[in-house]
Amino acid sequence: MQNLSIDPQRLWDSLMETAKVGGTPKGGICRLTLTDLDRRIRDWFVATVEGLGCTVTVDEVGNMFALRPGRRADLPPIAIGSHLDTQPTGGKFDGILGVLGGLEVLRTMKDMGYETNAPLMLVNWTNEEGSRFAPAMLGSGVYAGVFDRAYADARDDRQGVTFGAALDAIGYRGTAKAGSVTFGAMFELHIEQGPILEAESQTIGVVTGVQGMRWYEATVTGRDAHTGSTPMTLRRNALVGAARLVEAVDRIAHDHAPAAVGTVGLMEVRPNSRNVIPGEVFLTVDFRHPDDAVLDRMEVALAEAMRTIPAALGLGVEWKKVWDSPAVRFDPDCIAAVRSGAAKAGFPMRDMVSGAGHDAAYVARVAPTTMIFVPCAGGLSHNEAESTSFDECAAGAQVLLNAILDYDARIAG
């Protein structure tokens, strides 16, 4: 395998420079998908990769593919991909490191005049976060055939703006049919978003799969009434019902410890006035576990909570599952390339299963895929204080480069 070294300073400078697009006072990024800030970072992406001689194709859901030719046109491209959108209080690394780490790989190869056997493809997937438009991993999901384009277009944000309208508005609706821009494998570099690597002083996480994830939405209905004149016995307070459901979600996750997690992360109280008893509450539930059978049991427990808790308070409830992403196992050859890439760079590593969702989870349905994790301080992510060091970012990009070279040699041989 060829020895090529990425430029850690150039990678770090790109991370810090692009973090200004949507940068927050607390040092994070708020760059929600398909907003004008997303358009700006996409424009930057296009200009930057075109400057490296890449050709950019955009598909019908806004996924962006930058192609760098290889020596052999008979080999399918090796893709490197992640996302440039963030949470509302996102950090500077979630998703972005995977795209800019891939960019650093392309820049290094260009500087060294190095040609891979297979073409390389750098991908920015649309709406990975799922914060503005649920579900998460929507662009890669359409690419992989999990969702169709019409389903994606119809997703709406909490203001009622649809994904399709927002995509058209920023001018990134491409003409390529989703799934038509193919590649032979994909590698995604990402921060761990959990505490394990840091706690064990490991530099690289060799990601063998992604745990299962399910999202639900519920609307609890009571009756708006005056807070001063309505006796406690006559109230139908939807927020009390919602609060008990929050407790139930937390308990269900604890009941399936240690691997289960459960969260109510979004709640809308209506009419949200301090002297009106809340008549309606909308809330979301996020359950995750590496074993889909356990998620089935958690879902049964949730159904029981939805049946009994509102009824006991004289409330109504409507709830549904809006997303089911089963547990994923990554490709052994891609995983082997990451292991050998980390060993070549001399970094300590361990195998792990991802707790977070990633585009790689859907891409794995249509192409050999895996991920590389690097630590983040305190395991903190989806937080403006999210932090991965200069050296850790560099280590991840170097292992990404090594893994690509290793995989390229494997498929050429």
User: Least separation, in Å, of the C-beta of 154 and ligand GLV?
Assistant: 21
Handedness of CA 187, 208, 355, 372 (dihedral sign): negative
Q: How far apart are CA 89 and CA 20, in angstroms?
A: 14
Q: Which does 22 bind (CB under 5 to 8 A by kind): Mn ion, ligand GLV, none?
A: none
Q: Which does 136 bind (CB under 5 to 8 A by kind): Mn ion, ligand GLV, none?
A: ligand GLV
Residue count of the chain, please give it: 413
Interface contacts to Mn ion, rule CB under 5 A: 94-95
Q: Please report, as residue ranges, which positions from 68 to 87 form the binding site for ligand GLV (by CB under 6 A).
A: none
Q: Does 194 bind ligand GLV (CB under 6 A)?
A: no
Q: Which does 280 bind (CB under 5 to 8 A by kind): Mn ion, ligand GLV, none?
A: none
Q: Please report, as residue ranges, which positions from 17 to 36 form the binding site for ligand GLV (by CB under 6 A).
A: none
Concatenating the DSSP letter of every residue in 306-345 gives: HHHHHHHTT-EEEEEEEEEE--EE--HHHHHHHHHHHHHH
User: Least separation, in Å, of the C-beta of 137 and Mn ion?
Assistant: 9
Nearer to ligand GLV (CB atom), residue 186 or residue 277: 186
Q: Site size for ligand GLV, by CB under 6 A?
A: 5
User: Least separation, in Å, of the C-beta of 4 and ligand GLV?
Assistant: 31
User: Least separation, in Å, of the C-beta of 305 and ligand GLV?
Assistant: 22
Q: Does 136 bind ligand GLV (CB under 6 A)?
A: yes
Q: Which residues lie below 8 Å from residue 159, measured CB to CB, with a gap of 6+? A: none
User: Least separation, in Å, of the C-beta of 97 and Mn ion?
Assistant: 9
- CB-based closest residue to Mn ion: 95
Q: Does 139 bind ligand GLV (CB under 6 A)?
A: no
C-beta atoms surrounding 318 within 10 Å: 11
Rg, C-alpha atoms of the chain: 22
User: Least separation, in Å, of the C-beta of 234 and ligand GLV?
Assistant: 40
Nearer to ligand GLV (CB atom), residue 130 or residue 278: 130
Kindly state the helix (H) or strand (E) to which residue 120 belongs, with its residue range. Answer: strand 120-124
Q: Which residues lie below 8 Å from residue 120, measured CB to CB, with a gap of 6+? A: 67, 68, 70, 77, 78, 79, 80, 105, 106, 109, 404
Nearer to ligand GLV (CB atom), residue 176 or residue 259: 259
Handedness of CA 169, 179, 135, 79 (dihedral sign): negative
CA dihedral 367, 63, 5, 184 (to 10 degrees): 20
Q: Does 209 bind ligand GLV (CB under 6 A)?
A: no
Q: What is the DSSP letter of 162?
A: B
Q: Does 357 bind ligand GLV (CB under 6 A)?
A: yes
User: Which of the stretches 49-57, 115-123, 129-137, 318-326 binds ligand GLV when contact is defined by CB under 6 A?
Assistant: 129-137
Kindly state the helix (H) or strand (E) to which residue 215 belongs, with its residue range. Answer: strand 212-221
Q: How far apart are CA 326 and CA 324, in angstroms?
A: 6
| Binding residue for ligand GLV, selected from 59, 129, 386, 392, defined by CB under 6 A | 129
User: Least separation, in Å, of the C-beta of 6 and ligand GLV?
Assistant: 25
For residues 393 and 10, is the Cβ–Cβ distance under 8 A? no
Q: Does 191 bind ligand GLV (CB under 6 A)?
A: no
User: Least separation, in Å, of the C-beta of 192 and ligand GLV?
Assistant: 12
User: Least separation, in Å, of the C-beta of 88 and ligand GLV?
Assistant: 12
User: Which of the stretches 9-17, 128-136, 233-241, 258-266 binds ligand GLV when contact is defined by CB under 6 A?
Assistant: 128-136
Nearer to ligand GLV (CB atom), residue 317 or residue 356: 356
9 class by beta-carbon count within 10 Å (0-12 exposed, 13-18 middle, 19+ buried): exposed
Q: What is the DSSP letter of 77?
A: P
Q: Which residues of this protein are in contact with ligand GLV, per CB under 6 A?
A: 129-130, 136, 356-357
